[in-house]
Amino acid sequence: MMNKEGFEHWELLPMSYSKLNSWRSYPCQFIINKIFKINTGTNPAMFTGIIVEELLKDLLMGNESEDNTQMKLRDFQQTLKDYHDQDEVAKYLKLIPKYYENCRALFNRFGNQPLHSYQEELTVEIEGIPFIGYSDFVWDLGEEGMFIFDLKTKGRMAINHSDKLQQLIYKKALELKYQKPVHCSLFVVTPTKHHFEEIEFTDEHEIEIRNILKGMDRVLQICDEPKDWAYIYQPNVDDFIWNNPKMVEARRQIWGI
């Protein structure tokens, strides 16, 4: 079992898979957002995923309407009205209906079954560290068990390993909460197609999560001040994350470059 002291010191509890993955995959962005607590905002691709997920939720719950869709599109425009690249905003605004149309495959598969939950709060401990997460779409089919479908909107069809690790945490939390078998699938949607990816977990998936968490804990223990993190992790200025001017501003504030 791990000591929570480092996580508490840096105000990282409860942990989430998004924090864990951010630290592992984009440490400088993690430092900016979670250690220095600088809000760098959202982007059109990320917010598209949120809007499409809300539209799909309304469809599955019988609340689909053209007025509702138009309201969500206006919300998208309003939220991103100050985004630095308005051409990018316009591009995704046109793509949202295409993503949504390909989401209907999930309705065709489960639309006759009542949705058990959407964005259900799930908690579980890993190595003594409390985690929290919010599942996408969950159905309870009785003796067959519970079925999670996690929506991923992507520019091109791709199955990411990190998405599978996230679902393992949700699986553990749901099994603990309901004492039922839980089946996890990714529902990957692009503007032109969709794909259901049933996840088969192995011991290596859980080992990987625990190893990432232990590595993070080691860094938490050796860092006393935010600047310690900045010395350990140096930004690669060629990385795509610096396409956002707010990220560049934060980088200069922290690293001076």
Tens digit of pLDDT for each residue in 160-197?
999 999 999 999 999 999 999 999 999 999 999 999 99
Determine the pLDDT at residue 111. 84
Query: Where residue 40 falls among pLDDT bands split at 50, 70, 90?
Result: very high
Determine the pLDDT at residue 158. 92
Determine the pLDDT at residue 77. 97
What is the Cα–Cα distance from 16 to 244, expressed in whole angstroms?
24
pLDDT at 112 over 90: no
- As a whole-number percent, the residues of the chain with pLDDT over 90 amount to 99
What is the Cα–Cα distance from 15 to 13, expressed in whole angstroms?
5
Determine the pLDDT at residue 19. 97
Contact 69, 55 (CB under 8 A): yes
The answer to whether the pTM exceeds 0.85 is yes
Query: For all residues of the chain together, what is the average pLDDT?
Result: 96
242 C-beta neighbours (distance < 10 Å), count: 16
Average pLDDT of span 77-98: 97
**Which is more confidently placed, 126 or 1?**
126
Architecture of domain 1-251: Alpha-Beta Complex (3.90)
